[in-house]
Amino acid sequence: MTPATNGHDPKIVSLFCNWCTYIAADSEGVSRKQYPASTRVVRLMCSGRVDPQFVLDAFAKGADGVLIGGCHPGDCHYSEGNYKNLRRYSLLKRVLTEFGIDPRRLRLEWISASEGEKLAKVIREMTEELRALGPLNLPEKIARPEAVAMEA
Amino acid sequence: MAEKPKVAFYWCASCGGCEESVVDLAEDILTVVSLVDIAFWPVAIDMKRKDVEAMADRSLTVSFINGSVRTSEQREMVELLRRKSAFVIAYGACSQYGGIPSLANLHSKEEIFDWVYHASPTVVNPAGTVPLERFDDGHGHTLKLPTFYETVRALDQVIDVDFYLPGCPPTPKLLKEAVLALLSGKLPPKGTVLAPDVALCDECPRRATKPEKLAIARFYRPHEIVPDPEKCFLAQGLPCMGIGTRKGCEALCIHGNMPCTGCFGPTSRTRDHGAKILSALASEVDATDEKKIEEILAGIPDPVGTFYRYGIASSMLRRKIVEGNGGVSA
């Protein structure tokens, strides 16, 4: 059992909209700006494409946090995808809490294509916050009650 | 006379409704009985575990197993039936997805025992008696009880399952079709759910009244409203799981003027039933402002119990976890 340590490197699965946050991440890279290497970016066409199953799957497969990046309200390329995402996010946070997962592990940010600095700041903040929370270790936790019961 | 195929029915953590659904075959049970021998059915026939142990391996054509797996005794029985059966069918929501008993996966074993034997207001237990797995009476007698597991499991999380019959309980029609399919030997691929792979809206009598945009401004709980008997429940603000739930029940609850609670589970394209319904319902909330959205969604006070009523054991997360300690219970 890995004890919660403050020294661990959190893994963040980032689900970024193609039209805003993904471009922001790209431009930070092109400008050679630094942000923590904690994030694995998945490009989606819209934050409205974020199915809550993606978030649960990320946690179940070992992510310590999930970051969703979408266009500012009013700016969605498909007019209301980001609002759909906001509604699901609100309910999903409650569901995660009931399953015992700290809701701070899921974060939604509106980051436009020109807000590379904001993106870097959000990733830094979230990395620190997840480091303080300690590893989630869900794959092991899902497997462990199995092992306990099957040994009995 | 050639020997008839042998069939077994068994129950694990369940309410008995699945057993009743077999009786609900009514006169069709005569058709079934004329085609097969019921070789083991503890609810109806006096046979013991040792009788099953004495059978040759794979000598049962099919075992219909209902209920989820909560105790070591249930695990032993389903492992035994797996060895003795050519086919195993997970019968009903508990067996297929964990069902209602797997709502207990939101609590630890310790919390459950504390509530059931001490804290619940209806409990009178001045001596603080709790069941023990082993008890020695001091006169050479030892009593043993099965282990109560920390986590409720669906059947296929314990043994290999060939087919699934969904429902709480499955309908007699689906049971009859399954038996006839098995006897005819025309079997679908292993792992098939023996019900149509389309959402309930498809066979819902209120389908025509479902607007293209639901724009839900308020959610109601069933006791807060007298539902219109003709209109789509979602259009009335009543959370209906039919949008993300497999059809095949012939819209029984809808005909009783109650929204679908999701007992048939998801279609094959969905990996997490609750998350998918959450996604579909929340997206239809008629607000764009964060505060207003939360206000409307507060109309669903128990999202896990609503979206995952029958499927916590088979959900992606499977149970409530405890952050930090690496384990499941505090």
Share of chain A above pLDDT 90, in %: 84
CA distance B109 to B125: 19
> What is the residue type of B240?
C
A152: chain B residues, CB-CB within 8 Å:
72, 147, 149
> What is the residue type of A82?
N
For chain A, what are the domain ranges?
Answer: 12-151
| Cα of B296 to nearest chain A Cα, Å | 10
Nearest-Å Rg of the Cα atoms of chain B is 22
CA distance B216 to B223: 18
Strands A65-70 and A12-17: parallel
Tell me, what's the pLDDT at B325?
56
| Cα of A27 to nearest chain B Cα, Å | 29
| List of chain B residues with pLDDT < 50 | 326-330
Tell me, what's the pLDDT at B322?
86
Question: Coil, helix or strand for B148?
Answer: strand
CA distance B170 to B78: 20
Tell me, what's the pLDDT at B329?
45
Place of tokens 């804290």: B119
| List of chain A residues with pLDDT < 50 | 1-5, 147-152
Query: For chains A and B, what is the number of CB pairs under 8 angstroms?
Result: 131
CA distance B248 to B259: 15
Spell out the CATH class of B6-100+150-184. Answer: alpha beta
- CATH 3.40.50 for the A12-151 domain, yes or no: yes
- From the list B293, B324, B328, the residue facing A145 with the nearest CB is B328
> What is the residue type of B230?
E
A97 interfaces chain B, CB cutoff of 8 Å: no
ipTM of the complex: 0.92
Strands (E), A10-112: 12-17, 39-44, 65-70, 106-110
Contact B180, B186 (CB under 8 A): no
* B53-75 burial: b if 16+ Cβ within 10 Å, else e: eebeeeebbbbbbbbbbbbbebb
Tell me, what's the pLDDT at A142?
84
| Cα of B16 to nearest chain A Cα, Å | 25
Interchain pair B326, A83: CB under 8 A? no
Contact A152, B149 (CB under 8 A): yes
For chain B, what are the domain ranges?
Answer: 6-100+150-184, 108-149, 200-299
Tell me, what's the pLDDT at B88?
98
Taking CA atoms, B60 is separated from A88, B41, B57, in Å, by: 47, 12, 8
